[in-house]
Amino acid sequence: MNVIPAEGKLGILMVGLGAVSTTFLTGVYSVRKGLSKPVGSMTQYDKIRVGQGSDKKYLAYGDIVPLAKLDDLVFGAWDVYPANAYQAAMYAQVLQEKDINPVRDELEAVVPMKAAFDKNYAKRLDGDNVKDCKTRWEMVEALREDIRRFKADNDCARLVVIWAASTEIYVPVFEPVHGTLAALEQAMKANDTVHVAPSMCYAYAALAEGVPFIMGAPNTTVDIPAMWEMAEKTKMPIAGKDFKTGQTLVKSGFAPIIGTRCLGLSGWFSTNILGNRDGLVLDEPDNFHTKEVSKLSTLESILQHDVQPDLYTDYYHKVRINYYPPRNDNKEGWDNIDIFGWMGYPMQIKINFLCRDSILAAPLVLDLCLLSDLAARAGRYGIQRFLSFFLKSPMHDYTQGEVPVNHLFQQYTMLKNAIREMGGYEPDEELD
| AA identity, residue 18 | G
pLDDT, one tens digit per residue, over 384-422 is: 999 999 999 999 999 999 989 999 999 999 999 999 999
Instruction: Tell me the chain's radius of gyration from C-alpha atoms.
Output: 21
Mean pLDDT value across the chain:
94
pLDDT number for residue 331: 86
Helix (H, G, I), strand (E, B) or coil at 56: coil
Domain boundaries 247-354, corresponding CATH code: 3.30.360.10
Please report which confidence band the pLDDT of residue 150 belongs to, taking 50, 70 and 90 as the band edges: very high
CATH fold group of domain 9-243+358-422: Rossmann fold (3.40.50)
Q: Which of 23-32, 292-301, 350-359 has the highest mean pLDDT?
A: 23-32
Please report which confidence band the pLDDT of residue 291 belongs to, taking 50, 70 and 90 as the band edges: low
Q: Domains of the chain: which residue ranges?
A: 9-243+358-422, 247-354
Beta carbons within 8 Å of 83's beta carbon, 6+ residues apart: 17, 91, 112
Query: With contact defined as beta carbons under 8 Å apart, do 62 and 419 qualify?
Result: no
Q: What helix, strand, coil percent values describe the chain, rounded to 5? A: 45, 20, 35
Query: With contact defined as beta carbons under 8 Å apart, do 104 and 90 qualify?
Result: no
Compute the distance between CA of residue 150 and CA of residue 196 in angstroms, rounded to an integer.
25
pLDDT number for residue 178: 98
Task: Determine the longest span between alpha carbons in the chain, in angstroms.
Answer: 68
Residue 65 CB neighbour total at 10 angstroms: 27
Beta bridge partners of 318: 269
Least confident interval from 2-16, 34-48, 88-102, 287-301: 287-301
pLDDT, one tens digit per residue, over 235-280 is: 999 999 999 998 889 999 999 999 999 999 999 999 988 887 777 7
Residue 39 CB neighbour total at 10 angstroms: 12
pLDDT, one tens digit per residue, over 113-134 is: 999 999 999 988 889 999 999 9
Residue 285 CB neighbour total at 10 angstroms: 10
Helix (H, G, I), strand (E, B) or coil at 80: coil
What does the pLDDT average to over 78-101? 97
Could you tell me how far CA 227 lies from the centroid of its own chain? 16
Q: What is the pTM of this model?
A: 0.94
Beta carbons within 8 Å of 410's beta carbon, 6+ residues apart: 431, 432
pLDDT number for residue 276: 75
Compute the distance between CA of residue 171 and CA of residue 177 in angstroms, rounded to an integer.
11
